A and B are shown apart, each in its own frame.
Chain A
Amino acid sequence: ELKVEQNPLFLSMQEGKNYTIYCNYSTTSDRLYWYRQDPGKSLESLFVLLSNGAVKQEGRLMASLDTKARLSTLHITAAVHDLSATYFCAVDAYGGSQGNLIFGKGTKLSVKP
């Protein structure tokens, strides 16, 4: 059974600091997603990582994938308040990019001035 674990589940950080969210998954998969969710809203796609060593960056967020370690990271650089949200990683359950995603429980990020 595919399991996806994120940590930490809660993260309170000060503006300007750096931090990393970790996403471990239990079986092989060739596709990993990162999503952002604001309170009361739906999921917004951040990154799709397709292969070992993939790295993608958008603004202050950078995601990477190590398929051998079954680990993805979401690195936050010089956090700002607007990044406060819940971040989810998800893995395709059958590795076939069909969209049957198994989600981590999410990391609730709070950035304080």
Chain B
Amino acid sequence: DVKVTQSSRYLVKRTGEKVFLECVQDMDHENMFWYRQDPGLGLRLIYFSYDVKMKEKGDIPEGYSVSREKKERFSLILESASTNQTSMYLCASIPRGKYSGNTIYFGEGSWLTVV
């Protein structure tokens, strides 16, 4: 079974703190993603990466950065957390290329509250 693991399930951070959300996948997938999910807004793409040390902005990158030093690990960084970043964060991965039937696998989610 594909496994996408988000190490922190529930976090409470103070405004201005630096926050790291870690994601590890065990299937040698090239493509990894960070989404956030908010009620009424659905899921929105923050950043994605197609390879080690590569990153691309998604729809809502402001206030976030990412790091992909190893293929299996994709980290989301909030440089200075703000209350409007309180949300559920979902990491996802998929192998590169048009493989028939491939789906995107999601981690369990990280619930972040910024106070």
A residues near B, CB below 8 A? 33, 35, 41-43, 45, 48, 50, 88, 90, 93, 96-106
Contact = CB atoms under 8 A, between A and B. Distances in A.
B104 A99 contact: yes
Main secondary structure on B side of the interface with A:
loop
B98 A106 contact: no
Chain B interface size, under 10 / 10 to 19 / 20 to 34 / 35 or more: 20 to 34
Interface in B93-108: 93-94, 96-108
Residue from A33, A45, A88, A90 having most chain B Cβ neighbours under 10 A: A45
Interface of B: 31, 33, 40-45, 48, 50, 58, 90, 92-94, 96-109
B41 A97 contact: no
Nearest to A1: B59
A105 B41 contact: yes
A98 B94 CA distance: 8
Contact of B109 (A41, A50, A97, A103): A41
B42 A88 contact: yes
A106 B109 CA distance: 17
Contact of A105 (B33, B40, B92, B108): B40
